[in-house]
Amino acid sequence: MYQYYRSVLLLVCVQTAEMAVGEGKLNAVIQLGDKLLASTAVSGREAIRLQLAGARMTWNQLLKDVAEHCLQCRERVDAVQVFTESLARLNAWLDQAENRLAHAEKCSIETPFQCKNYLKSLQV
């Protein structure tokens, strides 16, 4: 599971890097739009300005969303890693407790006091 989230995180980061190419294309379109403004009638200039501003706003929102998703993915990868480490420690403790209990079956515990002390010794 950890590898899955890690690969998703890497994919998101690669796509983020590829967005630089998209931003370059957007900037080229905006520059062309700005050049069109000079040769456009006054009545059409506002429509072009609005479209260019809309494209920039959409792009900025996309950048914000991708950054947020990348952060969420990193947080999930960290959480999965912490869970995996905790699971490994728990499994090690369970193995150790099972070994001790198997040893206890071979020993004779005759009183409740001996049983209590032995159970305390199992705590890690």
Per-residue pLDDT tens for 11-41?
A: 766 677 778 788 888 889 888 888 888 888 8
Give the confidence band of 124 by pLDDT, cuts at 50, 70, 90: very low
Whether the pLDDT of residue 54 is over 90: the answer is yes
Do 12 and 66 contact (CB within 8 A), yes or no? yes
Whether the pLDDT of residue 110 is over 80: the answer is no
Whether the pLDDT of residue 42 is over 80: the answer is yes
Q: What is the pTM of this model?
A: 0.61
Domain boundaries, the chain: 2-122
DSSP conformational letter for 73: H
**For residue range 62-105, what is the model confidence (pLDDT) as tens digits?**
889 988 888 888 888 889 889 989 999 999 989 988 887 777 66
Distance in angstroms (rounded) separating the CA atoms of residues 60 and 109: 71
The residue count for the chain: 124
